[in-house]
């Protein structure tokens, strides 16, 4: 179980790092936002699943955090992209 938890933790970190690198190399702002939204949401959720496996005594707290990240991440990304879109349409 410890090995599986470590695999989840490291894969979550790799996904977050990959999303950050893609944000650096792309020029379009909305593509950068897409990479940030997807990689940070999924990477953080996978990382928290690894922690939930490693520390099952706080399982309810981990589940709540995973649910919170999976809900608020896409909402925040959508709000930022809508603001960016409205800002560029007014020019």
Q: Is the dihedral of CA 15, 17, 22, 23 positive or negative?
A: positive
How far apart are the C-alpha atoms of 84 and 37, rounded to whole Å?
Answer: 14
Query: CB atoms < 10 A from the CB of 24, how many?
Result: 8
pLDDT at 25 over 80: yes
pLDDT band of residue 91 (cuts 50, 70, 90) is low
pLDDT at 90 over 80: no
Task: Summarize pLDDT for 28-72 with one digit per residue, the tens.
Answer: 888 888 888 899 999 999 999 999 999 999 999 999 999 999 999
Give the single-character DSSP code of 58.
Answer: G
pLDDT of residue 28: 86
pTM: 0.86
pLDDT of residue 12: 96
């Amino acid at each position: 179980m410890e090995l599986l938890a470590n695999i989840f933790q490291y894969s979550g970190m790799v996904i977050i790092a990959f999303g950050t690198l893609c944000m650096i190399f792309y020029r379009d702002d909305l593509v950068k936002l897409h990479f940030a939204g997807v990689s940070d949401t999924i990477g953080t959720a996978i990382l928290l699943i690894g922690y939930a496996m490693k520390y099952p005594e706080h399982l309810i707290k981990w589940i709540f955090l995973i649910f919170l990240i999976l809900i608020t991440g896409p909402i925040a990304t959508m709000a930022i992209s809508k603001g960016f879109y409205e800002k560029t349409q007014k020019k």
